[in-house]
Chain A
Amino acid sequence: MKLEILGTGCAKCKKLYETVEETVKETGITAELSKVEKINDIMKYNVMMTPALVINGKVVATGRIPSKEEIKKWMNI
């Protein structure tokens, strides 16, 4: 599973990264975690509010930090 966190490095973006990292650890799933920080790469996802979370190429949340429960729900597709 591929998880991407979009954001230009603001405080909320770091918080989202940590939340996702913890969630992945809790579930024990092997997942590839990465940050997308270049504005042009972020715009490829057509996202206007950061931070945003992308799972397997699909934008699941923008402009907010979702809860671990939500993230787990999206991961168990």
Chain B
Amino acid sequence: MLKIFAGWITYSVLSIAPGSLSGKAVSFFIYDIIKIFSLLIVIIFVISVIRSFLPPERIRGILARKNKYFGNLLASLLGVITPFCSCSAVPLFLGFVRAGVPLGVTFSFLIASPMINEVALIMLLGMFGWKIALIYTGSGLIIAIFSGIVIGTLKIENLLMEFVLANKASEGQFSYEMKWKERLAYAKSYTLQILQKVWLYVIIGIGIGAWIHGYVPADLMARYAGADKWYAVPLAVLIGIPLYSNAAGVIPLVSALTEKGVALGTTLAFMMAVTALSLPEFMILKTVMKTRLIVIFACIVGLGIIFTGYLFNLILK
């Protein structure tokens, strides 16, 4: 349906010759834009409504009472539906740890929350299909759970800054129960806010992606980043670290490159590095933990991502 509509705009309205390279690129562009923006609006709205039932105060209450392994699982799942802004990382971290949420469980949450965020998921769903989106979510959850358990087992609470555990969180709660009308209003404003933030990146990303789709010869990337190149995965992870805020624009680009021969596992590793490992977040976390803990955290997550990349390069041949 959507494809026919995109084709109609390209060939009838813009009167570009069918079968031409530019026609292919333009109809691809229009099709993707409509698809991605409809997905963004619908899914972010629904997730925001669900989210209004689970403010961080409530999540903290749930996690403080759970034991180790189940706590890591639950923290990762709750991290998925919580929006994450690196500017909230510190208050969130302090709020959790001071309320008695174990350090490892807190990390599971901190890893899952940015890595499996709704914008990245929608872009994956729209550009790669539900199977890849599911694989991404599944491996992301496993990395978050596993890294949290490792950090918990290391018993490295001594690497937190002294002031972190000096105070207990007061139990005086900010617990305001929203009415349905307010939930919908919140969801609407949140959806608009996200759209405002990402729309330009999405359009530019899809635009360049469509250009690659139409003009770049197939298999060009296979020569440099195919499954048989061992260095492709770690290199992709390194490149992904500084690209944090541009997940929305990066995914359509990567989707086009995958089509031209980048192995899927490498692509997955790259996207995980973009979302989960972020330089600004590391800098911010320095106020609450020693550099050694940040390095340990980044290494465990980084290794998990690299492993995932190699694994799916082997499986998805």
Contacts and interface: CB of A to CB of B under 8 A. Distances in A.
Interface of A: 7-8, 10-13, 39-40, 42-50, 59, 62-65, 67
Contacts of A67: 189
B163 A63 contact: no
Q: Chain A at the B interface: mostly helix, strand, loop or mixed?
A: loop
Given A62-B174, A64-B189, A49 B169 contact: no
Contacts of B95: 43, 46-48
B242 interface: no
Nearest to A60: B176
A12 B85 contact: yes
Chain B's interface: helix, strand, loop or mixed, by majority? Answer: helix
A10 B167 CA distance: 24
A42 B190 contact: no
Contacts of B193: 64-65
Interface of B: 55-57, 60, 83, 85, 87-88, 90-92, 94-96, 98, 163, 167, 169-170, 172-174, 186, 189-190, 193, 284, 287-288
List the 8 closest A-B pairs by CB distance, nearest first: A10-B87, A48-B95, A48-B56, A59-B174, A48-B92, A49-B88, A48-B91, A50-B88
A63 B89 CA distance: 11
B91 A50 contact: yes
B130 to A, nearest CB: 30
A7 B55 CA distance: 18
B189 A7 contact: no
B90 A39 contact: yes
B190 A64 contact: yes
B90 A46 contact: no
Contacts of B85: 10, 12, 49, 63
A45 B60 CA distance: 15
29 contacts: A8-B87, A8-B91, A11-B87, A12-B85, A39-B288, A42-B91, A43-B91, A43-B94, A43-B169, A44-B170, A46-B170, A46-B173, A46-B174, A47-B95, A48-B56, A48-B57, A48-B60, A48-B91, A48-B96, A49-B56, A49-B88, A49-B92, A50-B87, A50-B88, A50-B91, A59-B174, A64-B189, A64-B190, A64-B193
Contacts of A44: 170
Contacts of A8: 87, 90-91, 284
Given A10-B87, A39-B91, A47-B174, 8 more contacts: A13-B87, A46-B57, A46-B95, A48-B91, A48-B92, A49-B85, A62-B55, A63-B85
A58 B9 CA distance: 54
